[in-house]
Amino acid sequence: MNVEKARFNMIEQQIKPWKVLDDKLLGAMATLPREMFVPDGHKNLAYADISVPLAHNQMMHTPREIARMIQALELDGSEKVLEIGCGSGYSSAVLAKLAKKVFSVDIIPEFIEQAQKVLTQLAIDNVNLEEADAAEGWLVHAPYDAILVTSALSELPDALKRSLNPGGKIVAVIGSAGQYQCQVFHLDDENSWHHHVLFPIVAKPMINAEEPNQFEF
């Protein structure tokens, strides 16, 4: 695989047509070697418009989905960002190129270990990876200027809302029973929450997150 050409095609054929036009974000994704984050056996899918399976029944979202999520955070380089679920570490690396500091939390130690290896190889040193259960939020380094949640939650936890600075944004996957949406949440100057839907998405439920009650007939 010609990775440089594949990366160029990813940007031009997948990401830009999906309304992702932020120059800094496109530049970050054009230079990051996504293949280094993809598990062995799936390297050929690194730049394809398809989700990539990870261990422990988890997944990497498509490049265009990750790009659209991160663009919605509207980062300017000064932010402290929380990522819940580092997974492969790819989105952590993209965030690191766009923000001042990234705190990425994952409940699976194998993911933390593998992501740290790749980030170290790429000399990315502004990501702090932590092994923990953040299904209800992660207040350790709060408040944050932006929060990214890529595994599915039934609703946004209040603890997560409390950990966001005024003017910040949360991009999260919300829904149930396989009907998930990527949504953007923000707090206005009058302390009122607003949200809108970015796009429908296929996702895995967050480990240990509370599921909504289901009716049985």
Residue 172 main-chain phi, psi, to 5 deg: -145, 155
What is the rounded CA–CA span in Å between residue 125 and residue 31?
A: 16
All domains of the chain in start order, with CATH: 3-201 (3.40.50.150)
Q: Write phi, then psi, for 42 (nearest 5 degrees).
A: -130, 15
Higher pLDDT, 167 or 211: 167
Cα dihedral 215, 201, 158, 164, rounded to 10, equals: 180
Q: How does pLDDT run across 146-195, given as a tens digit for each residue?
A: 999 999 999 999 999 999 998 899 999 999 887 999 999 998 877 789 99
pLDDT of the residue at 211: 57
Q: What is the pLDDT of residue 213?
A: 43
149 φ/ψ sector (left φ>0, alpha ψ -120 to 50, else beta): beta
Q: Is 41 left (phi over 0), alpha (psi -120 to 50) or beta?
A: left
10-47 per-position pLDDT tens digit: 999 999 999 999 999 999 999 999 999 999 999 999 99
Burial environment of residue 79 by CB neighbours within 10 A (0 to 12, 13 to 18, 19 or more): buried
Rounded to whole angstroms, the Cα distance separating 190 from 51 reads: 39
Q: Please tell me the total number of residues recorded for the chain in this structure.
A: 217
pLDDT at 181: 97
Is-contact 170 138, C-beta < 8 A?
A: no
pLDDT at position 178: 78
Q: How confident is the model at residue 214 (pLDDT cuts 50, 70, 90)?
A: very low
